[in-house]
Amino acid sequence: MPQWSLILVFAVSCVVGYLIIRQVPTLLHTPLMSGMNALSGITVLGALTVTAVALKQVNGTLSAVVGCLAIALAMINVAGGFGITTRMLRMFRSNKSDQEGE
């Protein structure tokens, strides 16, 4: 029974998240994306925790493989998100500050 409750929580959170993000104006997407990149670190911690628990189980091989995949995908999300945010922030720099930095 607990698996069904977890699936239900996941489905409801997906729908609520979609409805909330859909209402965000385009101008606010860059600051929100930066915040979500920081929150994606929580996903990495969750994946690490679940994988560690799966590795302690005797027959947790499939769970460990899926956990390692989750860690890799979450880290790609974090690194890519911060890279895109950095590129977006560079667009708002003035030419004078760019010349002084070089």
Q: What is the mean pLDDT of each run of 10 residues along the chain (102 residues)?
A: 72 84 72 72 82 77 82 87 80 64 55
Report the pLDDT value the prediction gives residue 101, as an integer from 0 to 100: 56
Q: Please report, for residues 22, 28, 80, 87, 96, the alpha-carbon distance to residue 70 in angstroms, rounded to integers and kept in the order given.
A: 26, 28, 15, 26, 42
Report the pLDDT value the prediction gives residue 8, as an integer from 0 to 100: 83
Report the pLDDT value the prediction gives residue 98, as an integer from 0 to 100: 55
Report the pLDDT value the prediction gives residue 23, as an integer from 0 to 100: 82
67 falls within a domain: yes
Domain that holds residue 77: 27-92
Tokens of 58: 């005797």
83 falls within a domain: yes
44 falls within a domain: yes
Number of domains into which the chain is organized: 1
Helices (H), the chain: 2-22, 29-56, 61-90, 95-101
